A and B are shown apart, each in its own frame.
Chain A
Amino acid sequence: SQQGEEDPQALSIQEGENATMNCSYKTSINNLQWYRQNSGRGLVHLILIRSNEREKHSGRLRVTLDTSKKSSSLLITASRAADTASYFCATVLRGGSNYKLTFGKGTLLTVNP
């Protein structure tokens, strides 16, 4: 079953605007990661946030994590048409024996030029 649920399922914005995507999960995690997927093929790792962290930045990306609410958000600032893609959150569960990722269903982001 899916651990993460992204919200919204689809988001359409204009170039230059900010995009915010949310992810909720159900069980205790070791870390949470965000991935991008273009055209339904390979996934690209964007950013990882550990369970003891609250916020991380990477370029135009900002990720927050609220373990009390079991939720995370991904903010993309000053969006570009090239940011158009599907974005997935993925969790690594606490106490797991390996590092397998459990993915949400994703948010389809469209950035209009």
Chain B
Amino acid sequence: GAGVSQSPSNKVTEKGKDVELRCDPISGHTALYWYRQSLGQGLEFLIYFQGNSAPDKSGLPSDRFSAERTGGSVSTLTIQRTQQEDSAVYLCASSSVTGGWETQYFGPGTRLLVL
């Protein structure tokens, strides 16, 4: 498809389990962002990729959170030993210099519920 896609759309997990969230950016977009949206904290930046490297990880809330990007395309956000406070919608966005780097295109998000 032409837009950013994310999978799964919804994920329910038990406290203590690990989860992986996937993001497929728009083809050719070199910049990729992860954000988290929760009732208490609003929309928060998590991590930024330029190509396969992550020069800004400042928003990751703890060392249980990690992300990687391979081939300059797909990115995976991993949350280890999930906690109830991790419940949120995780949004991915991508942008490109040629596409107007300042405009970020968002995916539909993954709604994570930790029981």
A residues near B, CB below 8 A?
2, 31, 33, 35, 40-45, 48, 88, 90, 92, 97-106
Contacts and interface: CB of A to CB of B under 8 A. Distances in A.
A100 B91 contact: no
The dominant DSSP class at the B interface is strand
Contact of B106 (A2, A44, A48): A44
B102 A99 contact: yes
B4 to A, nearest CB: 8
A41 B89 contact: yes
Interface residues of B, number: 27
B95 A99 contact: yes
Contacts of B4: 42
Contacts, number: 61
B43 A97 contact: no
A102 B59 CA distance: 11
Given A33-B102, A98-B56, A100-B33, A40 B89 contact: yes
B104 to A, nearest CB: 6
Give the 6 A-B residue pairs with the shortest CB-CB distance, closest first: A103-B43, A43-B106, A42-B108, A100-B45, A42-B106, A105-B42
Contacts of A88: 43
Given A42-B91, A88-B43, A98 B50 contact: yes
A102 B46 CA distance: 11
A41 B109 contact: yes
Interface in B81-103: 89, 91, 93, 95, 101-103
A22 B84 CA distance: 33
B45 A101 contact: yes
Contacts of B43: 88, 90, 101, 103, 106
A11 B84 CA distance: 31
Contacts of A33: 102-103
A48 B102 contact: yes
B55 interface: yes
Contact of A98 (B48, B103, B108): B48
B25 interface: no
